[in-house]
Chain A
Amino acid sequence: MMMAGAATTGSKAQLVLSGTSRPGAASADRKRTTPGHHVVGTRTGSSVGTRRSPAASAAKGSAGSSRKVVSVASVDSNSKSQKASPPNGSDKVVFDPSFKVDKDAAKAMYVDMLRGRNFEDMCAQMYYRGKMFGFVHLYNGQEAVSTGVIGAMRSDDYVCSTYRDHVHAVSKGVPMGKVMAELFGKKDGICRGQGGSMHMFSAEHNFLGGFAFIGEGIPVGAGAAFQARYRRDVLGDESADQVCASFFGDGTCNNGAFYETLNMASLYKLPCLFVVENNKWAIGMAHDRSTAPSMGDKEPYIYKKGPAFGMPGVLVDGMDVMAVRKVAEEAIARARRGDGPTLIECETYRYRGHSLADPDELRKAEEKEAYAKRDPIPKFRDFMIKQGLATEKEVKEWEKQVEEEVDEAVEFADASPRPGKEQLLENVFADPSGFGISADGGSQSPNFP
């Protein structure tokens, strides 16, 4: 009953599983023949399925100008980066000088990263002052990933995160004050104080959470993507082209939910992105101590698992917001036109411990220093000024504005009231009838004498 053609609209939509795109889609997503031979590091939307080894493309210079494929940058910078960067695979996407952003985009990217960093630094301060409690996982150092990916999405696109979710929420547009108030456990928090650091949700901003167990959110993100496909193909809503980006870490990539969801996303051609924030550490477990390398490799590479599940896998320099933004734009466009998911492995680093409770004794000083030198924020600041995208004066102005914004967020959170006990039973059920909970959340005994 499966038609190998375009999906029909209406209630009888057939599931299109072979490598064809939606009618009218610009891309030529040709049938891939042999899985596993797919060139990692290529965005497939415009690929015609030719297979080139990374070495070949490096030797021939940047990928042919007729293709919008981005593997490595030009030969020169490639050879330099191969010597300079850690051995993370010869097909890592790094900064590509031909990828340009305009002034507005540059400002947005810089300010967004700055907001993330300042917010997290303030969280640490507030935690040590006893304003927030429990497990708080900070994002310092990984801002290029959040800004690079989420900044390329629309407000009606979805983001699904993990417990390291403050900056994802802020990048997605959740007001800083509401995130801070949530961290303080106040009524005006984005989840009314009921979620906390690890459970940020915002239906208004299509931010699907905030999950404490790793891997738990990945299928949820795929569900949102499925919903978009369903709306388009079954309900006939032409405007339903939203995508969902799910963020998770290197430790999660050994979890069943990761593989199960990669399979389903590929099978159903879901419009989603799987963004791995590989910061090399899962609390105290180094990535290469928990993950077996693929055959023929000396180190484990997560992006290589994409093609095994029928989607392109991309490795990108997660400390460079321009590289991330470029990869994200291609992956989002690919998903939006119906060509399916992409697995993006971002090589990144967290400057702080796993959480504020982590003494962070296992990571070596040399490693931390090496990544500190690659801090995405000063790197982009210098880039902007050098490229004439912003002046020193403007940048200082923005930095001041962000500091003020964070201070205001703390004031808002401080001023917000604490939840009263009457809030305890509210929101347990969408429909509380029969549960002894009245509509306004109070406890209600059943009618007995």
Chain B
Amino acid sequence: MAAAVQSRSAAPRRAGTRGRPLRPGPRNSGSSRRTTRWRPCGAKPERELLMWEALREATDEEMERDPTVLVMGEDVGHYGGSYKVTYDLYKKYGEMRLLDTPIAENSFAGMGIGAAMTGLRPVIEGMNMGFLLLAFNQISNNCGMLHYTSGGQYKVPVVIRGPGGVGRQLGAEHSQRLESYFQSIPGVQLVACSTARNSKALLKAAIRSDNPVIFFEHVLLYNVKGPVGGKDEVQELNRAEVVREGTDITILCYSRMRYVSMQAVGDLVTQGYDPEVIDLISLKPFDLETIYNSLKKTRRVLIVEECMKTGGIGASLSSTISENFIDELDHEVVRLSSQDVPTAYAHELEAATIVQPEQVVEAVHRICGESAVPA
């Protein structure tokens, strides 16, 4: 059901490309999907939206396309979603399709799962991803397991979405990164969006997928603006995005760390480095093909993530890379992750908990040597 239609991302002009549009990205064999596209001058500019608007548009389009799609969660109806992702949709689709639930994550997640088993396609919103800790029982046992323990009889086509990540002094409990907690659950698929374009295209694909997909948004990215695709643009859920091509080092990141990495890249390029930046997008399964194609070139890998060092996404990605591609590496895989501490309220402590661009720059220096080296 997650059909990959040709993605038409425009080639963004990023710092460090020395004024040239990016070359088209690597082609996956047999797939017609491209990550970037060279546009002729004078092409009509694409429509731009903020990420929350893009997510809203994705939800709206999918609900229109398929009447079994509904959204359920706290304040998704009248309030329009705490981050406006379902703003005013209840006026168009009614209160059963934008179901305002009581504050009972475990049970409304379970209710969504029961509805999915019997033919509907719920999008379950966690007002903050952290709240889904309350729903861990349902997500692990029922979302993840039922297709298997029922011998394939019941599928659970739910999308569980919501904002996570460290915001602006929101305190420890509202600053959690649950992707690493969920990644071990057998039977769930994990996706992290990062731009207006990919958030819309991925959410559409996630809703159409028959797998249970946990869809990670970031609290600080809802106002990121960018071009978005049309009604038919869906993006493969299990493919990474090449954000910037390069030759010196492969930087693997996701969600807000994409921007942190690209900010560091701005400095690195002026210093003569040529990093390749890949946005993982798919946290489970990892797109090892795209990663391999990159590190074959660069022979160095730096993982930049927002989850904790212990047991994080980077931990399992690093082992996977080392196990599979040790012969292609000139340097051990380096992980930049958040500190293993609850996120403090004070600004300085919060800033010290997560990865900052300076750390990325310093890590590239360390891995590549003090000056840029050819691959």
* B147 partner, pick from A226, A231, A429, beta carbons under 8 A: A429
**Does B149 have its Cβ within 8 Å of any Cβ on chain A?**
yes
Cβ of A105 < 8 Å from any Cβ of B?
A: no
> Size band of the A side of the interface?
35 or more
| Given A219-B114, A261-B107, A263-B102, A446 and B288 contact (CB-CB distance below 8 Å) | yes
Report which of A12, A190, A208 forms a contact with B117, defined as CB distance below 8 A: A208
Provided the pairs A220-B142, A447-B289 are in contact, do residues A428 and B148 lie with their beta carbons within 8 angstroms? yes
Bound complex: CA A192 to CA B153 (Å):
10
A334 to chain B, nearest CB (A): 20
Quick check: is B106 within 8 A (CB to CB) of the other chain?
yes
- For the complex, is B5 an interface residue (Cβ under 8 Å from A)? no
- Pairs across A and B, CB under 8 Å, 11 listed: A194-B149, A211-B141, A218-B107, A218-B110, A221-B114, A223-B117, A235-B67, A260-B106, A427-B148, A428-B186, A434-B285
Which residues does chain B contribute within 8 Å of A430, judged by CB atoms? 147, 155-157, 210-211
Bound complex: CA A12 to CA B91 (Å): 8
A318 part of interface (Cβ distance < 8 Å): no
Do the beta carbons of A213 and B141 come within 8 Å of each other?
yes
Is B119 part of the contact surface with A, judged by Cβ < 8 Å?
A: yes
Interface hits, A138-188 → B, CB 8 Å: 158, 160
A371 within 8 A of B: no
Please name all residues of chain A whose beta carbon is closer than 8 Å to the beta carbon of B176 when the two chains form the complex: none
Contact residues in A for B112 (Cβ distance below 8 Å): 223
Bound complex: CA A267 to CA B103 (Å): 13
| Residue of B90, B104, B117, B154 most packed against chain A (CB within 10 A) | B117
Q: Which residues of B contact A211 (CB under 8 A)?
A: 141-142
A-chain residues with CB within 8 Å of residue B92 when the two chains form the complex: 12
Known: A211-B141, A230-B70. A426 touches B152 (CB 8 A): yes
Contacts of A264 in B (CB 8 A): 101-102, 104, 107-108, 111
A434 to B119: give the CA distance in the assembly, Å.
Answer: 24
B138 touches A (CB below 8 Å):
yes
Q: Which of A206, A219, A428 contacts B109 (CB 8 A)?
A: A219
Top 5 closest pairs, chain A to chain B, by CB: A223-B114, A219-B110, A434-B238, A192-B151, A260-B107
CA–CA, A222 and B91, complex, Å: 25
A210 touches B107 (CB 8 A): no
- Asked whether B111 lies within 8 Å of A220 as measured between CB atoms, the reply is yes
A22 to chain B, nearest CB (A): 14
Give 8 A-B pairs besides A191-B153, A429-B187 with Cβ atoms closer than 8 angstroms.
A227-B114, A227-B119, A227-B120, A261-B107, A428-B187, A429-B189, A430-B156, A431-B209
B102 and A267 within 8 A (CB):
yes
A383 at the interface (CB under 8 A from B): no
Indicate with 1 or 0, residue by residue over B289-330, a CB within 8 angstroms of chain A CB atoms: 100100000000000000000000000000000001000000
State A158–B101 Cα separation when bound (angstroms): 23
Q: Which of B68, B90, B108, B115 contacts A1 (CB 8 A)?
A: B90
**Chain B contacts of A434 at CB under 8 A?**
236-239, 282, 285, 287
* CB-based nearest B residue for A182: B151
Task: Tell me if B91 and A1 are in contact (CB < 8 A).
Answer: yes
Contact B151–A201 (Cβ < 8 Å): yes
Please tell me if the beta carbons of B94 and A13 are within 8 angstroms of each other in the complex: yes
Do B104 and A234 touch (CB < 8 A)? no
What's the least CB distance linking B79 to chain A, in Å? 12
Size of B's binding interface in residues, CB under 8 A? 67
In the bound complex, residues from chain B placing their C-beta under 8 Å from that of A243 are none
List of A residues within 8 angstroms of B115 by Cβ: 223-224, 226-227, 230
Are B292 and A448 in contact, CB atoms less than 8 angstroms apart? yes
Minimal beta-carbon separation of B280 from chain A (angstroms)? 13
Q: Are B151 and A189 in touch, CB under 8 angstroms?
A: yes
Q: Which residues of B have CB within 8 Å of A433? A: 2, 238
Decide if B96 is an interface residue (CB 8 Å cutoff). Answer: yes
Distance between Cα atoms of A430 and B156 in the complex (Å): 8
* Complex CA distance for A447 and B118, rounded to whole angstroms: 36
Q: Are B106 and A219 in contact (CB under 8 A)?
A: yes
A407 at interface, CB cutoff 8 A: no
Does A28 interact with chain B (Cβ within 8 Å)? no
> Does A69 sit within 8 A of B, measured CB to CB?
no
Distance from A254 Cβ to chain B, minimum over Cβ atoms (Å): 15
Query: Residue A357 at the B interface, CB < 8 A?
Result: no
Q: A256 to nearest B CB, angstroms?
A: 7
Q: A216 and B137 in contact (CB under 8 A), knowing A226-B111, A257-B106, A431-B211?
A: yes
Contact A219 B107 (CB under 8 A): yes
Q: Name the one of B96, B137, B147, B324 contacting A230, with C-beta atoms under 8 angstroms.
A: B96
* B210: chain A residues within 8 A (beta carbon): 430-431
Q: Mark B170-200, 1 if CB is under 8 A from A, else 0.
A: 0000000000000000110100000000000
Q: A194-B148, A216-B137, A435-B285 are in contact. Are A234 and B94 (CB under 8 A)?
A: yes
Residues of A within 8 A of B259 (CB): none
Min C-beta distance of A378 to chain B, whole Å: 36
Chain A residues with Cβ below 8 Å from B78 are 1
CB pair B151 A190 closer than 8 Å: yes
A195/B111 contact (C-beta < 8 A), A12-B93, A13-B96, A431-B2 known: no
Task: Tell me, rounded to whole Å, the shortest Cβ–Cβ distance linking B331 to chain A.
Answer: 20
The smallest beta-carbon distance between A410 and chain B, in angstroms, is 20
Smallest beta-carbon distance B184→chain A, Å: 13
Contacting residues, chain A, for B334 (C-beta < 8 A): none
The verdict on B146 contacting chain A, using a C-beta distance below 8 Å, is: yes
